[in-house]
Amino acid sequence: MNKYLDIAPEVQEALAAGKPVVALESTIISHGMPYPKNVETAMLVEQTIRDNGAVPATIAVIGGRLKAGLSKEEIEYLGKAGRGVAKASRRDLPALVARGADGATTVTTTMMIAYMAGIKIFATGGIGGVHRGAEVTMDISADLEELAQTPVMVICAGAKSILDLGLTLEYLETKGVPVIGYGTQELPAFYTRQSGFGVDYRVDCPEELAAMFAAQRELGYKGGMLVTNPIPEEYAMDKAVIDAAIEEALAQCQAQGVRGKETTPFLLAKVVELTGGDSLESNIKLVLNNARLAARTAAELAK
């Protein structure tokens, strides 16, 4: 085991016994929502995973230690600290570990630490991808490279709709990452169920998801698998409303000169503001929906 890694006792016992475990990121706690909503949501997501037959393992860096599984107190700490905690991508881990610092994990670093711990399935809200205008800025999320090289199944509600979804799919195809639609042949766009772009395969049950991932592992692929699970119909937002909010958020982002890893938190916060908080509630519902599917898929994989 990696000498910098701490696996929570509940998670360690489940892994040793071959029981299903689902990884969760921590950026959504520190950067994705205000306190105390972030802590309430994190605890609700963990309970949802338990209710569906798996053990949750929220992942973060605390005091320079890579944590696979957080206590309630540690989740509360991250929630209160908010953006005072570093948003930790792959490039940040060596510095955080060496300095004994804290970091909230993105999709990238959650995948990395989950894999170190032996956790095969990870539930999140949406992945990063190719940003609009990337042909000029070269702003492409490290999430895509991680999916290409780390064998973890990521269950999400699609790529964040602030991105260039067509180019994101092209990038994943180039890297050989299977993109699976759960109950759909169309890529969901985070807040909405449709994007106009197709996925590689449609799957309609957790048993088939588990079988596909097991086959990928047995074939010796080094990368992961992306499962896109549409937001439930009753919580989806009107496409025209969300598109208008995104366009306004993008304009403000450019005007204020926001760049790099601050771009996504800025845009998502601005969309929440412009939609009167509706996008935050949709975000919570889609994360819970992904957690349920991840727990059920992990249970099938454990069989």
Q: Where are the alpha helices (DSSP H) in the chain?
A: 9-16, 27-30, 37-51, 72-81, 93-99, 107-117, 134-137, 142-149, 165-174, 206-218, 239-255, 263-274, 278-302
Give CA–CA dist 79/24, Å, rounded: 14
H or E element, residue 29: helix 27-30
Give burial (CB, 10 Å; 0-12/13-18/19+) of 217.
middle
Q: Mean pLDDT of all residues in the chain?
A: 92
What is the pLDDT at residue 277?
Answer: 65
Give CA–CA dist 29/37, Å, rounded: 9
Indicate the DSSP class of residue 227.
E
User: Amino acid identity, residue 166?
Assistant: G
What is the pLDDT at residue 242?
Answer: 76
Tokens found for residue 191: 């807040």
**Under CATH, to which class is 125-303 assigned?**
alpha beta
Question: SS in 3 state form for 175-198?
Answer: CCCCEEEECCCECCECCECCCCCE
The CA–CA distances, whole Å, from 141 to 145, 148, 150 equal 8, 12, 15
Q: Which tens digits make up the pLDDT trace of 178-196?
A: 999 999 999 998 888 988 8
Q: Is 160 part of the annotated catalytic residue set?
A: yes
Tell me the backbone φ, ψ of residue 46, rounded to 5 degrees.
-60, -45
Which of 25, 46, 74, 300 is flagged as catalytic? 25
CATH 3.40.1790.10 in the chain is located at 1-119, 125-303
Which of 67, 87, 120, 160 is flagged as catalytic? 160
Q: Is 146 part of the annotated catalytic residue set?
A: no
What DSSP letter does each residue of 83-121 carry, written as one string? Answer: GGSEEE-GGGHHHHHHHT--EEE-HHHHHHHHHHHT--E
Q: Which tens digits make up the pLDDT trace of 237-272?
A: 887 877 787 778 778 887 888 777 677 677 777 777
- Judge contact between 183 and 202, C-beta under 8 A: yes
What is the pLDDT at residue 274?
Answer: 67
CATH architecture classification, 1-119: 3-Layer(aba) Sandwich (3.40)
Give CA–CA dist 116/2, Å, rounded: 7
Please give the chain's pLDDT, 303 residues, in tens. Answer: 799 999 999 999 999 999 999 999 999 999 988 899 999 999 999 999 999 999 999 999 999 999 999 999 999 999 999 999 999 999 999 999 999 999 999 999 999 999 999 999 999 999 999 987 888 778 899 999 999 999 999 999 998 777 899 999 999 999 999 999 999 999 998 888 988 899 999 999 999 999 999 999 999 999 999 999 999 999 988 878 777 877 787 788 878 887 776 776 777 777 777 676 667 888 899 999 999 999 999 999 999
What is the pLDDT at residue 265?
Answer: 73
What is the pLDDT at residue 161?
Answer: 73
Place of tokens 């000498």: 3
Give CA–CA dist 297/22, Å, rounded: 9
pTM score above 0.85: yes
Instruction: Count how many Cα atoms sit within 13 Å of the Cα of residue 40 in the half-sphere of its side chain.
Output: 8
Neighbouring CB atoms inside 10 A of 257's CB total 6
User: Amino acid identity, residue 144?
Assistant: L
Give CA–CA dist 162/108, Å, rounded: 18
| Residue 208, C-beta contacts closer than 8 angstroms, at least 6 positions apart | none
